[in-house]
Chain A
Amino acid sequence: MSEVKKVATRDSYGAALVELGQEHENLIVLDADLAAATKTGVFKKAFPERHWDCGIAEANMTGIAAGLATCGKVPFVSTFAMFAAGRAYEQVRNAIGYPHLNVKIGATHAGISVGEDGASHQCLEDIALMREIPGMVVINPADDVEARAAVKAAYEHVGPVYLRFGRLAVPVINDVPDYKFEIGKGVVLKEGKDVTIFATGLEVKETMEAEKMLAADGIDAEIINIHTIKPIDRELVIASAKKTGKVVTVEEHSIIGGLGSAVCEVLCEEAPTKVLRIGVEDRFGESGPALELLHKYELDAEGIYKKVKNFLK
């Protein structure tokens, strides 16, 4: 078996910014002393005059981005999810969301797979926080291909966009010639009839692995990648839920407020269906190697498989 290529989506973010920067003079990247970690360092190297380090001051960085956007720039605000969505929440809400300014937020180090840094840096609430802001688009790409495409789509979209990236290198799963990315469109990765599993971010790959284990047990699962959590693909969510009658959501985020909630909001109104939300339960994370944590918190293929099996009993 050939070795699967692994790339962290934060690396994809930096690479995509460089490509976009070559085409678009009005793209400015802001960072808050984390350029080496958010991977905007490659943009800094390519376009030093358009990479502005704001120092360790995320609230100010967010406001600067708003000011830039009023002057026709397309700023990409880069920092860890914890600070982009957490520390600067109110600045994002009032200085970017309320005036609907054309600012893109590149939030890296999302989720428990941050690993050893532990709970203080493992943002499990960002999707919930950003999803609530009117007009905010929230995208959580699954791999390198999707992340690069998402960054480009975010640039093309006029209005605020929150992009969620991971620290951990993850397998490339979308490396197909006809790959297309469209904001708000879910992707059916495998059709099935027994249960629908909606997954997002790096959990897409884990869910695909879990599907193989379920198939071995004779369970025919439909697997859907929801890269855009807002606006969510309502039609696809409803249609698939009606088809299978059982729904599971999988995300590297709190089970409160993220993909699970977004799917439940659609279904409770349009097609009431029993839903199992897989994610981090109502708790904080902890230190440890990323893969060990994903296993401990049952967010790896094995954990997903067990939970789905139990749900279908």
Chain B
Amino acid sequence: MNNLELEKTANEIRKGIVTAVHSAKCGHPGGSLSAADIFTYLYFEEMNIDPKNPKMEDRDRFVLSKGHVAPGLYSTLAERGFFPKEDLKTLRHTGSYLQGHPDMKHIPGVDMSSGSLGQGVSVAVGMAAAGKFDNKDYRVYALTGDGEIEEGQIWEAAMWAGHRKLDNLVVIVDNNNLQIDGPITEVCSPYPIDKKFEAFNFHVININGNDFDELRAAFKEARQTKGQPTAIIAKTLKGRGVSYMENSVDWHGKAPNDEQYEQAMEELTKAGEALCQK
């Protein structure tokens, strides 16, 4: 996909996020929207996956360590054809397979259940180590939040990944600078994030995580990196694409009401139309 196609796809995914969270009347739009371009690049360009065969043995794996942005992952999976887009409206509803946080037992395309912060990178490390052990070519991707890396287990996982030289592992930090209680710099600053991962023997790439040129270059560089895992520190804009949600901590875990939903969809529709005229 070229960048324009990726941008159009990401815009559709953002519509799905807003629609799902509106229908659920709760959930986490802010971080889903900040990571939407990362999801798009991974699922439409980077990863070797097959929506018709979600459990394909040698597929690339993805672990959503920041599991609360499930709407972002689900909308991406639906857009990619793992399940019908209409189902996004059942998010968090009783009886729906689209659980509030990723559930690998019931959702096609979800490689690991997650949601309790800090645990996903360890699981991705296990997957990457299994791939190395079996001499498989598959790659493993984990997405964490910049608040999430306050959890100590992230660094246990990073230490072992660096120690074992897992160059088939890419940890992406969605660095939108906001966590529930406020800016990460005010709550418990994890900065400098890049220096920390470097100290844990990662190859580190700093990018704008809402820019497809930079995402493309970063993932290519990660593939070329041998003997170390890669950490991509992706600066993003929380709530990106919906004006009133952008860079607002209020929209970490809140659903738009009907009026706000209409406005969000109108903005995203206009953005989509603008992309079509490019």
Contact = CB atoms under 8 A, between A and B. Distances in A.
Ranked 6 nearest A-B pairs via Cβ:
A67-B126, A63-B122, A60-B156, A71-B130, A64-B126, A57-B156
Count chain B CB atoms within 10 A of each CB in A54, A65, A90, A100 and give the residue with the most.
A54
B105 to A, nearest CB: 6
7 contacts: A63-B123, A69-B126, A70-B112, A71-B127, A91-B119, A95-B123, A98-B113
B157 interface: yes
A94 B134 CA distance: 26
A52 interface: yes
Majority secondary structure, B binding face: helix
Interface residues of B, number: 33
Contacts of A61: 122
A59 B156 contact: yes
A57 B119 CA distance: 12
Contact of B126 (A59, A63, A90): A63
Given A67-B127, A67-B130, A57 B160 contact: yes
A71 B58 CA distance: 9
B111 A70 contact: yes
B122 A73 contact: no
Contact of A94 (B119, B156, B159): B119
A47 to B, nearest CB: 12
B105 A100 contact: yes
Contacts of B133: 28, 49, 73
A142 to B, nearest CB: 32
A55 interface: yes
Given A55-B160, A57-B160, A71-B131, A64 B123 contact: yes
Interface string A47-89: 0010010110101111111111111110100000000000000
B115 A68 contact: no
B153 interface: yes
Interface of B: 61, 63, 103-105, 111-113, 115-116, 118-131, 133-134, 152-153, 156-157, 159-160, 163
A306 B108 CA distance: 59
Contacts of B113: 94-95, 98-99
A27 to B, nearest CB: 12
Interface of A: 28, 49, 52, 54-55, 57, 59-73, 75, 90-91, 94-95, 98-100
Majority secondary structure, A binding face: helix
A90 B118 CA distance: 11
A12 B153 CA distance: 31
Nearest to B131: A71
A99 B128 CA distance: 19
Nearest to B163: A55
Nearest to B123: A67
A221 B214 CA distance: 75
Count chain B CB atoms within 10 A of each CB in A52, A57, A100 and give the residue with the most.
A57
A71 B156 CA distance: 21
Contacts of A55: 156, 159-160, 163
Nearest to A56: B156
A59 B153 contact: yes
A60 B122 contact: yes
Contact of A60 (B61, B63, B103, B153): B153
Nearest to A73: B130
Given A75-B126, A99-B112, 4 more contacts: A55-B163, A59-B156, A66-B122, A73-B133
A71 B157 CA distance: 18
A59 B111 contact: no
A60 B157 contact: yes
Contacts of B104: 70, 99
Contacts of A73: 130, 133
Contacts of A94: 113, 115-116, 119
Count chain A CB atoms within 10 A of each CB in B111, B121, B123, B152 and give the residue with the most.
B123
A70 B127 contact: yes
Contacts of B119: 59, 63, 91, 94-95
A81 B201 CA distance: 31
A67 B159 contact: no
B183 to A, nearest CB: 27
B156 to A, nearest CB: 4
Contacts of A75: 126
Contacts of A65: 126
